[in-house]
Structure 1
Amino acid sequence: MSGHKGQIVGYVRVSAADQNPARQIEAIGVVDRLFSEKVSGKNVDDREQLKEMIAYARDGDTVRVKSPDRLARSTRDLLDLVEQLQAKGVAVEFVDNPALNTGTPQGEFMLTILAAVAQLERATIRERQAEGIALAKKKGTYDRVPKLDPEQIADARQRISEGVPKAKVACDMGVSRQTLYSALNGSGKYAELMRSAS
């Protein structure tokens, strides 16, 4: 902790569903500076006030929020934000979850556990994705999305009718000759595409 008397910086975020920040403002109590945001918050880049709050907070300040979900959108996001603030010497206080407050040994311990959980989540998701891809490749469904849309197929037909070799057309379009043939014949996954396009 640094010597000077830090400010209490409040941050509230209301989602599109709940446009009233009053409950959160009441929960965090008196603050020196309040940053209030109305966003869905799916995307960190929407959160202008959050960025301003992080830029504003100084060494010795405490950022106070009602609960972790108001500050962050995921465990990983929460850890990143807390780390960013801690690097500036700023403490983070959660009114509803004091066990996560960064200034306490208990808070540090909880955040360490959360970091492990976030790592586990990421590893599990990656593993599931890899398994899904392996399974799909086995079944031959990994390539299910047609690589060429109806316009490109029409364009390919046009060029071939003008005497451009199929291999060249396939190469220009960045697909295999097999993919081009299926597309031209409207076979396999292209049969559905042609049906939906007509």
Structure 2
Amino acid sequence: MVGQTVGYVRINTVDQDPAQQVEQLGECHKIFQDTGSGKSREAREGLRNLMKYVRGGDVVLVQSMDRLGHDTIDLYQILDELTRQGATVKLLSEGFTVSRDETRPTQQLMLKVLAVIADFERAKIKERQAEGIAIAKAKGKYKQQPKLNETDLEQIHTLLELGRSKAEIARQFQVSRQTVYNTLKRDLT
């Protein structure tokens, strides 16, 4: 199946010029672009549109890995999603191609290596987080997120009846959504 050649470009700031990346991609049927940090996938509209657009047989060209994924975990997830849709991804600077082509065992190996690195990175992040919390607790600087009291719970119910979302309520009370969910759950028991 022959598809389209699609490009993806990401620059960090509006002051940067995407022309160099676009030039390196070469001839593309369509190019998707984002401006800003790659840290948040939600803020990357170009990436979301690329993911919706890509079909089996398409080739996605990206100037380098760091333009596509913020970290190994993010990169692996994006590559996995694109290849599950039947696309082939070419990372030009690295000279690396990723696809679900079973006839190319090296590609399969590299995708699995990325998955292992992503798992390792996730474990190291959790480990560093736990160490940081332990140090902060020892210094008396760690504060557990405050629980919401009964008055807060009444206000939450009122706001929910008025149609406010739990995310909006969490922002208003300066707590996580999970804290709102836990408070509501605690109220049911």
TM over 0.5: yes
Paired with 1:85 and 1:131, the residues of 2 have a C-alpha distance of 35
RMSD, aligned α-carbons: 2.6
1:65 aligns with 2:62: yes
- Structure 1 partner of 2:128: 128
What are the within-5 Å matches in structure 2 for residues 40-189 of structure 1?
Answer: 40-102=37-99, 104-137=104-137, 139=138, 141-143=140-142
8 A Cα contact 1:8 1:63, kept in partner: yes
User: Which structure has the larger Rg?
Assistant: 1
8 A Cα contact 2:9 2:33, kept in partner: yes
What is the number of equivalent residue pairs in this alignment?
Answer: 147
Paired with 1:44 and 1:136, the residues of 2 have a C-alpha distance of 30
Paired with 1:29 and 1:122, the residues of 2 have a C-alpha distance of 35
Partner-residue secondary structure (3-state), 2:13? coil
Q: Which structure 1 segments of 5+ residues have no match? A: 148-170, 175-198
TM-score, length-scaled by structure 2: 0.67
1:12 aligns with 2:9: yes
113-122 vs 47-56, which moves further: 113-122
TM-score, length-scaled by structure 1: 0.65
Partner-residue secondary structure (3-state), 2:8? strand
* Letter paired with 1:11: Y
Sequence identity (%): 39
Q: Which structure 2 segments of 5+ residues have no match? A: 153-189
* Letter paired with 1:115: A
Shift >6 Å, 4+ stretches: 171-174
Partner-residue secondary structure (3-state), 2:42? helix
More helix by share: 1
Instruction: Give, in angstroms, the shift of residue 74 of structure 1.
Output: 0.9
Paired with 1:26 and 1:81, the residues of 2 have a C-alpha distance of 23
Instruction: Give, in angstroms, the shift of residue 78 of structure 1.
Output: 0.6
